[in-house]
Amino acid sequence: MSTTFTPPPSFSIPTSRLHISYLEPNNPTHSAFVHHLWNTDDFIQAEGPTGLDTPEKAAKFIATRVQSDYNRNKHGQMLVSLKPYPDASLAESKMIGMVSLMKGEPPNAYTQPDVGYTILPEESGKGYATEAGIGLIEYARRELGVEGVFGFCRVDAARSRRVLEKIGLEFRGERNLRVFGGARSAVYALPGMGGDLTVYGIDD
């Protein structure tokens, strides 16, 4: 029987400009933000419609899908908040996006997670996705025992590829990834990860 992972609401992973924190299943502010973020034109253009077209659906998504990732891995989809000044607390900061480390659900899961990110359109282009990705990966490696991290994106997604490279991942070629229904993807990995990606469950 799995236990529910419930970090304190004040928990955050601080970076120089940001706070990275867990989504709270019963926090209406969080579900309203996820609904807003995932229905921006930029997000829908990149990811397609998600079906989270009301805050109530977003709340259910957090309570089920997001929480199950937390219970299983202690990481998953996380909030990104912008500090108004360097020493600002999480409560004083403004939600501007999300960053994630996802492994998928067995049996369609890789043995190491992949990093993802989305930032509100009005805050994009300022390096926040890169900073959040680095901050979450460093925390996961230091505190959660994560040894490797992948990055996946569409082959033609030049902006996403630049962010993955700035985070510090290396290009490992293109593959048809089963977790994305066989879609052709650019594959990135942390330096030091094995050259044979099949050992991580990555295959064509």
What's the rounded mean pLDDT across residues 58-82? 96
Find the domain containing 44 and state its range.
Answer: 13-147
Q: Is pLDDT of 1 > 60? A: no
Alpha carbons within 13 angstroms on the beta-carbon side of residue 173 total 9
Give the Cα-Cα-Cα angle 193, 15, 132 (nearest 5 degrees): 50
Q: Which two tokens stand for residue 91?
A: 């409560």
Please name the residue that has the structure tokens 């360097």: 86
The CB density around residue 59, as the number of other CB atoms within 10 Å, is 22
Task: Tell me what pLDDT residue 2 has.
Answer: 63
Q: Which amino acid is at 125?
A: G
Distances (CA, A) of 167 to 33, 62, 63, 126, 174: 25, 26, 29, 14, 19
The pLDDT confidence band at residue 71, using thresholds 50, 70 and 90, is very high
Residue 114 lies in a domain: yes
User: Does residue 87 lie within any of the structural domains?
Assistant: yes
pLDDT of residue 181: 77
Query: What are the tens digits of pLDDT across the range 151-192?
Result: 999 999 999 999 999 999 999 999 988 777 788 999 999 999
Place of tokens 């033609």: 156
Range with lowest mean pLDDT among 34-43, 110-119, 134-143, 174-183: 174-183
155 within some domain: no
The CATH number linked to 89 is 3.40.630.30
State the total domains in the chain.
1
Report yes or no on 50 lying in a domain: yes
- Is 172 a member of any domain? no
In a domain, 201, yes or no: no
Model confidence, pTM: 0.93
- pLDDT for the residue 204: 60
